[in-house]
């Protein structure tokens, strides 16, 4: 037995040890017992991090949609696979059963084929969070086309760059999208983007907001009439284990986005196995991840991981603030959600709002809470734990990346005792290492360093689309024979990991390595502070000094700013030490964020260093207007 479902800590250690000692046997057992294959593999794993080249389950043949859909038809045909909750709470939710999903994916796949799309072609999907998004992803996988989903909040420039980078033949979009009280003209953005994308031959358009849009004759086609005509029977293309399943661009917080390429078999096995354990999913549970399918979290833990396990996965079209700040809590009550997975940025935004939005709703269905995307600060962790989980639903702080395909460091709920701000223990099969600046592994506990992974895991990205050299340089050249994550971490006295931020953001002040996350955590403890970001700037004596950008909770805060600065430094001194005190503190109404809600620190760093002539690629910014405000008020 491969212990597909881990239930207590001892078992975790036992399975973990096995997964490290005999990784091939371990993953082979998981793969044998819990998936369907058209043909089994000849070899479980071959790898060479110097090339780098990694192959899992080589020789195996499969189609991931047969694992996500077909095999459930006999036992779960009438179970809801996708539970669609629209933007507007008065519009009815849609329960798409596994049987219906099967039909709709097959029809969609046949439409793709009718446009000449076949195995290996790249398709760009630029859709809001409506069922067609998940269905088109699966339809591509059904026929072996490689999907490249671009988050439908990106600008036309960001979209055209991504379309051209991977030579997409087709774009799937909608007339527009709803976002709270607003509508967005998606088709208009696509039209603009396609001015610069000559390779796109056809555009399929789903109708969502019924707006007037331009349809270019011969290129653009309404989707629904084509689906109505299409057959609901489409044989799954038989794929090799290592055939690419999709391309997904990283969120771009540190530079030009990279088109990460994920494989079929390894990705399927790892996302399914992590989903089952990290969320302790049981057959009748309703699981909800609030991410957008445009991010890796949505790929792995809205679509593939849950569906391979035959789960019910909620897809929410809207935003947490519409029609009011109780929307998330209302949905949890309405659909009796058992597992709720969201991001620190959303938690912090909702924590700023009053408790009345929460108290109105019955959250007793919740069993497990998740967090992903950034370090979750201590205050937000406690707020989430106390008010949403009512101290009875463990928080899984899951650390991972677009590149890793699946969750890498995380507690297993009811198994691993949690600790605020700690992602805790490596998941089964994951071998982390902390490295020092000289490339040596730091052994033992109570240490910190650069976070690497020493051994391949099934869902790791195989390359950057069209640029294998960049893949090697970015991830496999900093440390010999290791995958370098770009993040810094510390390991505490019991071996728990805490992600301290990106290594680029580790600031050396008077010879001390200071991670940004713990300092920001301390600042956020101040009752007047909503959010903060710190960066380094050159300093004659200390080498570097710290510059803090602070958002206050109450914009009308009338307290003397110099007093607030003193109080903030006082808190830092208490929590970390005087070494981490900030030389400059700028109060601001906002911080530059990527569309996935992450702070784009390189811009803040440039402003702090008074080097604003070239701010670099800002196409992934959500709120470019705040950059000017910050520059105008820079200290
Ligand atoms: P780019 O690589 O283009 O700069 P990105 O790193 O923001 O973009 P993602 O792959 O979406 O793109 O994000 C992964 C990163 O998010 C991790 O490397 C880490 O810095 C951060 N992260 C994710 N989850 C956590 C977590 N639970 N705790 C701390 N940091 C996290
Ligand atoms: Mg990254």
| Mean pLDDT across the chain | 95
Cross-strand partners of 534: 548
pLDDT tens string 518-533: 899 899 999 999 999 9
Q: Residue ranges of the alpha helices (H) in 85-185?
A: 98-114, 131-143, 156-165
Kindly give the number of the ligand 1 atom that is closest to the alpha carbon of 423. Answer: 27
Structure tokens that stand for 187 in this block: 């088709």
- In this prediction, residue 575 has a pLDDT band, given cuts at 50, 70 and 90, of confident
Report which of 514, 519, 513 is spatially closest to residue 549, judged by C-alpha positions: 519
Quick one: which H or E segment has residue 95? strand 94-97
Instruction: Calculate what percentage of the chain has a pLDDT beyond 90.
Output: 84
From 247, 369, 402, mutation site for ligand 1 pocket: most ligand atoms within 8 A of C-beta: 402
Give the rounded distance of the alpha carbon of 516 from its chain centre: 21
| Cut 0.90: pTM above it | yes
Instruction: Calculate what percentage of the chain has a pLDDT beyond 70.
Output: 99
pLDDT tens string 71-98: 999 999 999 999 999 999 999 999 999 9
Quick one: average pLDDT of 504-525?
85
Cross-strand partners of 407: none
Q: Which ligand is nearest to the CA of 595?
A: 1
Q: Which residues of 65-90 are buried (b: 16+ CB within 10 A; e: fewer)?
A: bbbbbbbbeeebeebbbbbbbbbeee
* Residue 86: predicted pLDDT: 98
pLDDT tens string 524-564: 999 999 999 999 999 988 888 999 999 998 867 678 899 99
Quick one: average pLDDT of 468-494?
96
* Interval between CA 502 and ligand 2 midpoint (Å): 9
CA angle 401, 611, 470 (to 5 degrees): 35
* Residue 1: predicted pLDDT: 46
What backbone torsions phi and psi does residue 12 show, to the nearest 5 degrees? -55, -50
* Interval between CA 135 and ligand 2 midpoint (Å): 27
pLDDT tens string 349-374: 899 888 999 999 999 999 999 999 98
* Residue 2: predicted pLDDT: 54
Report which of 390, 391, 358, 395 is spatially closest to residue 376, judged by C-alpha positions: 395
Kindly give the number of the ligand 1 atom that is closest to the alpha carbon of 410. Answer: 27
Residue 109 contacts residue 341 (beta carbons within 8 Å): no
Structure tokens that stand for 267 in this block: 């990705």
Nearest residue (CA) to ligand 1, atom 30: 374
Report which of 209, 212, 207, 213 is spatially closest to residue 190, judged by C-alpha positions: 213
From 248, 253, 278, mutation site for ligand 1 pocket: most ligand atoms within 8 A of C-beta: 253
CB count in 10 Å sphere of residue 523? 25
pLDDT tens string 28-42: 999 999 999 999 999
Strands in 368-372's sheet, in edge-to-edge order, are: 94-97, 80-85, 312-316, 286-289, 339-342, 368-372, 395-398
* Interval between CA 620 and ligand 1 midpoint (Å): 15
Nearest residue (CA) to ligand 1, atom 17: 401
Per-residue pLDDT for 565 more than 70?
Answer: yes
Q: Give residue ranges with CB within 6 A of ligand 1.
A: 250-254, 257, 372-375, 397-399, 401-402, 423, 485-487, 499, 502, 596, 598
* Residue 465: predicted pLDDT: 97
Place of tokens 């030389």: 583
* Residue 514: predicted pLDDT: 83
Q: Which ligand is nearest to the CA of 256?
A: 1
pLDDT tens string 230-265: 999 999 999 999 999 999 999 777 777 899 999 999
Per-residue pLDDT for 400 more than 60?
Answer: yes
Distance CA 348, CA 100 (A): 37
Q: Could you tell me how many residues make up the chain?
A: 635
pLDDT tens string 171-223: 999 999 999 999 999 999 999 999 999 999 999 999 999 999 999 999 999 99
* Interval between CA 489 and ligand 1 midpoint (Å): 13
């Amino acid at each position: 037995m491969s212990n597909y479902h881990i239930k207590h800590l001892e078992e975790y250690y036992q399975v973990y040890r096995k997964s490290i000692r005999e990784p091939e046997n371990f993953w082979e057992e998981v793969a044998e017992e819990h998936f369907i294959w058209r043909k089994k593999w000849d070899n479980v794993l071959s790898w060479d991090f110097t090339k780098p080249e990694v192959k899992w389950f080589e020789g195996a043949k499969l189609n991931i949609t047969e694992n996500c859909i077909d095999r459930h038809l006999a036992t779960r045909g009438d179970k809801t696979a996708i539970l669609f909750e629209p933007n507007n709470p008065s519009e009815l939710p849609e329960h798409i059963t596994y049987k219906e999903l099967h039909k709709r994916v097959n029809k969609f796949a046949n439409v793709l084929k009718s446009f000449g799309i076949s195995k290996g072609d790249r398709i760009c999907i630029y859709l809001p969070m409506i069922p067609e998004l998940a269905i088109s992803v699966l339809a591509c996988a059904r026929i072996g086309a490689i999907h490249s989903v671009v988050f439908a909040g990106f600008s036309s420039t960001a979209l055209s760059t991504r379309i051209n980078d991977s030579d997409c033949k087709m774009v799937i979009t909608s007339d527009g999208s709803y976002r709270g009280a607003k509508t967005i003209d998606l088709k208009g953005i696509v039209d603009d983007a396609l001015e610069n994308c000559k390779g796109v031959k056809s555009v399929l358009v789903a109708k969502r907001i019924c707006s007037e849009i331009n349809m270019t004759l011969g290129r653009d086609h309404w989707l629904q009439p084509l689906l109505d005509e299409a057959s609901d029977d489409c044989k799954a293309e038989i794929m090799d284990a290592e055939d690419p399943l999709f391309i997904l661009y990283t969120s771009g917080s540190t530079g030009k986005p990279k088109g990460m390429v994920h494989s079929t078999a390894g990705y399927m096995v790892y996302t399914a196995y992590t989903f089952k354990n990290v969320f302790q999913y049981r057959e009748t549970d309703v699981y909800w991840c609030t991410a957008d399918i445009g991010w890796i979290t949505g790929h792995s833990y809205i679509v593939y991981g849950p569906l391979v396990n035959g789960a019910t996965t909620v897809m929410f079209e809207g935003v947490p603030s519409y029609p009011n700040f109780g929307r998330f809590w209302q949905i949890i009550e309405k659909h009796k959600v058992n597992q709720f997975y969201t991001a620190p940025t959303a938690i912090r935004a909702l924590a700023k709002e009053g408790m009345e939005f929460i108290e109105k709703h019955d959250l007793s269905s919740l069993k497990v809470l998740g967090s992903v995307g950034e370090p979750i600060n201590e205050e937000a962790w406690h707020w989430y734990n106390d008010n949403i989980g009512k101290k009875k639903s463990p928080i899984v702080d899951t650390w991972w990346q677009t590149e890793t395909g699946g969750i890498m460091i995380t507690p297993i709920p009811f198994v691993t005792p949690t600790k605020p701000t700690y992602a805790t223990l490596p998941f089964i099969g994951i071998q982390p290492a902390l490295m020092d600046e000289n490339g040596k592994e730091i052994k033992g506990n109570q240490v910190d360093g650069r976070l690497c992974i020493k051994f391949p895991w099934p869902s790791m990205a195989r390359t950057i689309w069209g640029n294998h050299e960049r893949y090697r340089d970015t991830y496999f050249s900093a440390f010999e024979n290791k995958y370098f994550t770009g993040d810094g971490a510390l390991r505490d006295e019991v071996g728990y990991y805490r992600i301290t931020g990106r290594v680029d953001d580790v600031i050396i002040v008077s010879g001390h390595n200071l991670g940004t996350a713990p300092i920001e955590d301390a600042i956020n403890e101040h009752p007047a502070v909503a959010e903060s970001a710190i960066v380094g700037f050159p300093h004659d004596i200390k080498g570097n000094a710290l510059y803090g950008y602070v958002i206050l909770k109450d914009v009308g805060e009338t307290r003397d700013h110099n007093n607030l600065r003193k109080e903030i430094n006082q808190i830092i001194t208490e929590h970390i030490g005087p070494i981490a005190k900030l030389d400059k503190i700028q109060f601001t109404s906002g911080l530059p964020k990527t569309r996935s809600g992450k702070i784009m620190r390189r811009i803040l760093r440039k402003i702090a260093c008074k080097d604003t002539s070239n701010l670099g690629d800002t196409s992934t910014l959500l709120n470019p207007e705040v950059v000017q405000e910050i520059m105008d008020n820079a200290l």
